[in-house]
Amino acid sequence: MQVSYIDFHTHSRQNGDDVLEVVSLHGAQDKDVKYYTIGYHPWWTLKLLSEDELALMSDKYRDDACCLGMGELGLDNLKGADIELQEKIFIQQIQIANQSKSPIVIHCVRAFDRMLRLRKRYGETPWVVHGFVRNKTLAGQVLDSGMYISVAPHEKLSISFKDTLQYLPLDKIFLETDSDFTMDIKERYRIFADLRGIDIQVLKDQIYQNFITFYTGKWKHHIG
């Protein structure tokens, strides 16, 4: 199954049939989706997860072919519960993902040292940091840990972020809209392709290959 564009991480379906969208669901959140990931976002999770909440994640991943992975989940030093509690909740979800052999979509804000430490200690499945906007030095540390990086290119790039986008290896990236619906995913592909000086079809093909590698445990059910 080949698709023209992939919106790797979004919070609402917004594109046409030529875009594969992976919508992030928070727990039992009910949205009109086809493909999705499921997890407990650090902004809205203020206590340790119950057995039922953790079971929801594992059951959805096990039973629904359209649940491609777990996330977004992670750490945020600017918003949400105390960072120590966030870490405990993060570890709960990492352990469920490990048991399920599920890839993970990570939300990380000003907590990269902590996140990388947890990756080294607990990470057993593919991880991706979504919404990455930091410098290429930090990007290198994330990549060296074996993780992917998802970005949302736009028209007003800072010099530092432009350097990051030029640095990222094409076989370790995804493109996304996240919650910013002012620019669609096709435009973000165009901006990235122009910045890297590559044909947009080359970019589409590479990101599709990255996608089926990252989500290989589930995507095989959709391509036969």
| pLDDT > 60? residue 224 | no
Tell me the C-alpha distance between 101 and 95, whole Å. 10
Cβ–Cβ < 8 Å for 39, 24: yes
Torsion of CA 31, 35, 37, 42, to 10 degrees: -40
Tell me the CATH number at 181.
Answer: 3.20.20.140
Structural domains of the chain, count: 1
pTM above 0.85, yes or no: yes
| pLDDT > 80? residue 38 | yes
Cβ–Cβ < 8 Å for 119, 85: no
Amino acid, res. 51: E
* For residues 60-70, average pLDDT: 97
H or E element, residue 210: helix 200-214
* pLDDT tens digits along 126-172: 999 999 999 999 999 999 999 999 999 999 999 999 999 999 999 99
Return all residues near 14 (Cβ < 8 A) that are at least 6 apart. 21, 177, 181, 184
User: Residue 17 is part of which domain span?
Assistant: 5-223
